Amino acid sequence: MATTTAAVLAGDTAKRRGRSTGPRRSAATRGDWIVGYTMVAPVVLGSLAFVIVPLVTVFWYSLHDWNVLANTFTFAGGENYERMLSDEGLHDSLLASLWFSIGLVVLNITLALFLAVMLNQKLPGTTTFRTFFFSPVVVSLVAWTIVWSFLLQADGGINGFLDLLGIQGPNWLRGDFTAMLAVIVVQVFKNVGMNMILFLAALQGVPEELMEAARIDGARAWRRFWSITVPMISPTILLVSILTIVGSLEVFAQIDVLTQGGPGNSTTVLVYYLYQQAFQFNDFGYASAVSVLLFIIVLILTLLQWQTRKRWVFNEN
């Protein structure tokens, strides 16, 4: 009898405890949800205010004929997009953007990887060497470009140095090919330091045991680089490639300061052409359509790189 009574009392106590802890658990759960939503709210609201809403607004503007000076805003449907099909200036800007992107990606990534490999050798003076190439990253973009504009003049510092070597330098900013080359080089030296640091961090994560095993097996330095180093740092190569390609499609200040899109349309990249349509010709509707095109191009390139990563990214977690 005593045993039965104790069991009943124990059961009643357990039920009371269950009823008492239930609301506490619910309150704790609600508190966790509130804290979680509070933490993510700034990011969500920021994305809505500065990404989603502007994208929708730009697409809406692209469906209109909007001239600020004439104070007209009329619905045009797909006329702006049809206009892009026959716009020679847009076609030239796409071609200029293509050449600029190819030159920037090849030179920037190649030079950054080479510099990182050299720094990873831990040779004397590496700190000074690293500072020299990274310092342009923190320099004002406009100030950096203005200095280069003086160096690239017909009587500038670069041609002055070439004269000492007995070489007649061109007017770098007045030829179609040399102007594009000059803009690419200026951009490469501005940002190569950041990619160099990213590659250096990746190289320092390559296991020394693998390299030592390859040396014992007789693999030469070039074979070790292609068969071990490159696969091990392939995630960083993917990251740098995406950042460099997206950055190449958003270049503006260098073009505006150095060439203003010239000579002709040889350096009028897509972003600068968009600027011309909006702020020089006051055709904001067509400029919005061009910006939608730019967004689609960046999105497609990013998705392609991300989807093809499985074929050449070997160390992805």
Residues 91 and 52 in one domain: no
Residues 270 and 125 in one domain: yes
Do the strands 64-67 and 72-75 form a parallel or antiparallel pair, or are they unpaired?
Answer: antiparallel
Give the global pTM: 0.83
Residues 107 and 12 in one domain: no
Domain boundary among 62, 78, 107: 62
Q: Decide if 109 is inside a domain.
A: yes
Into how many domains does the chain fold? 2
Q: Decide if 70 is inside a domain.
A: no
Residues 57 and 91 in one domain: no
Pair of tokens at residue 199: 């590659």
Residues 27 and 97 in one domain: no
Pair of tokens at residue 288: 């919005």
Unique residue bearing structure tokens 């070597």 = 165
* CATH code of the domain covering residue 253: 1.10.3720.10
Residues 110 and 170 in one domain: yes
Residues 58 and 93 in one domain: no
Pair of tokens at residue 139: 């320099």
Tell me the residue range of the domain where 24 lies. 2-62
User: Across the strands, what pairs with 73?
Assistant: 66
Per-residue pLDDT of the chain (317 residues; tens, 9 = 90+): 444 444 444 455 544 454 445 556 576 677 788 888 889 899 899 999 998 999 999 999 999 998 877 888 999 999 999 999 999 999 999 999 999 999 999 999 999 999 999 988 877 877 888 888 888 988 999 999 999 999 998 888 899 888 888 888 888 999 999 999 999 999 999 999 999 999 999 998 888 888 889 888 888 888 888 888 988 998 899 889 988 998 898 899 999 999 999 898 999 999 999 999 999 998 999 999 999 999 999 999 988 888 887 777 765 55
